[in-house]
């Protein structure tokens, strides 16, 4: 995912320039990093969220890309654990640095730190890669109903605006979708309604455009996608209780376990459930299946969720 592109990130006086807005960048372009020194990279673009900060998925995807650079080709990512620290500012430069935690016979582990000017730490992550071994296997069956086809489901933009009247109070959730993501919600009238929504939520997603045939690019793209709507399960069941009060939400930490190689530009089904929310923190746990029904990954996220007034 690193590249020596033509888009200059340092001006003629040697000053670091801020990342560019995403515009119509593809997901692989969005996650591209420019190397600035051994083990250090700079982001080219900034993908903002509704809170005016860089979307957490961008930080995850670029951290994954940085971590995989230099890892032996026969080792695939199996785990990512990340702490979101200060919110990353879209108008400021964003840099990543990796360090080696482990380089063993079967495992490679990397730590990735991301920061902005003034020592503003925005992400601390650990990624582990492993050599696939001949071993027993199993996977939980897909919960997708027979015959459900994501391409036949409406996009967010196709849904009635009134369907989001209460959803909008949930800290930035709306009918808008990032141009880099294709996203579909089965049975949206039930899953988004304040009268019938609950702590279980499911959806389909994939990269909006085809990605290069590179497993590391797909792993980074999947890390990006994994942050999209993951924590909605911790919020949806509270729509009736909060009424017109607004919530502020932000992701606190994020976990990924990759059970198989993931094709991020193919449809992925996500089922997320929230077992608990208390004292301003909500937990969401997800199972991700591919369209063939194989469990390819699991995810978890803790979310800050508090009233704004």
- Segment 3-12 mean pLDDT: 35
Check if the beta carbon of residue 205 is closer than 8 Å to that of residue 226. no
Task: Residue count of the chain, please give it.
Answer: 309
Domain boundaries, the chain: 20-130+152-307
Q: What is the reported pTM?
A: 0.91
What does the alpha-carbon distance between residue 78 and residue 58 come to, in Å, rounded to a whole number?
A: 19
Phi, psi of 222 (to 5 degrees): -65, -40
For the chain, give the mean pLDDT: 90
Task: Give pLDDT tens digits for 208-262.
Answer: 999 999 999 999 999 999 999 999 999 998 888 887 788 889 999 999 999 999 9
The mean pLDDT value for 283-301 works out to: 98
> Among candidates 54, 60, 90, which has minimal Cα distance to 250?
54
| Helices of type H across 104-263 | 188-191, 215-225, 239-242
pLDDT at 21 (0 to 100): 55
Q: Quick one: average pLDDT of 265-271?
A: 98
Please give the share of the chain, as a percent, with pLDDT higher than 90: 75
The mean per-residue pLDDT over the stretch 32-58 comes to 93
Please determine, for residue 6, whether its predicted confidence score (pLDDT) is greater than 70: no
* Kind plus residue range of the DSSP H or E element containing 202: strand 200-207
Q: Which CATH number fits the domain 20-130+152-307, given the four candidates 2.40.50.140, 3.40.50.300, 3.30.565.10, 2.40.160.210?
A: 2.40.160.210
Q: What is the pLDDT of residue 282?
A: 97
């Amino acid at each position: 995912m690193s590249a020596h592109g033509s888009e200059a990130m340092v001006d003629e006086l040697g000053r670091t320039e801020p990342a560019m807005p995403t515009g119509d960048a593809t997901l692989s372009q969005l996650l591209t990093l420019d190397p600035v020194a051994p083990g250090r990279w700079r982001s080219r673009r900034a993908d903002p969220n509704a809170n005016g900060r860089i979307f957490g998925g961008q930080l995850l995807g670029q951290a994954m890309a940085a971590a995989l650079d230099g890892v032996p080709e026969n080792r695939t990512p199996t785990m990512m654990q990340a702490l979101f620290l200060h919110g990353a500012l879209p108008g400021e430069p964003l840099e990543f640095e990796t360090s080696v935690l482990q380089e063993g016979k079967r495992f490679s582990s990397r730590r990735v730190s991301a920061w902005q000017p003034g020592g503003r730490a925005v992400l601390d992550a650990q990624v582990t890669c492993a050599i696939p071994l001949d071993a027993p296997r199993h996977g939980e069956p897909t919960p997708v109903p027979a015959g459900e086809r994501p391409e036949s489901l409406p996009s967010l933009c196709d849904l009635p605006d009134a369907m989001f009247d209460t959803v909008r109070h949930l800290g930035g959730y709306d009918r808008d979708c990032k141009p880099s993501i294709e996203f579909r919600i089965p049975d949206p009238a039930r899953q988004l309604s304040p009268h019938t929504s609950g702590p279980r939520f499911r959806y389909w997603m994939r990269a909006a455009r085809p990605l290069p045939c590179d497993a590391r690019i797909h792993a980074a793209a999947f890390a990006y996608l994994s942050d999209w709507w993951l924590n909605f399960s911790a919020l949806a069941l509270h729509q009736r209780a909060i009424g017109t009060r607004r919530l502020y939400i932000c992701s606190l930490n994020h976990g990924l376990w990759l059970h198989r190689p993931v094709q991020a530009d193919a449809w992925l089904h996500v089922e997320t459930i929230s077992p608990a929310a208390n004292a301003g923190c909500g937990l969401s746990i997800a199972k991700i299946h591919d369209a063939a029904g194989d469990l390819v990954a699991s995810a978890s996220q803790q979310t800050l969720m508090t009233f704004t007034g």
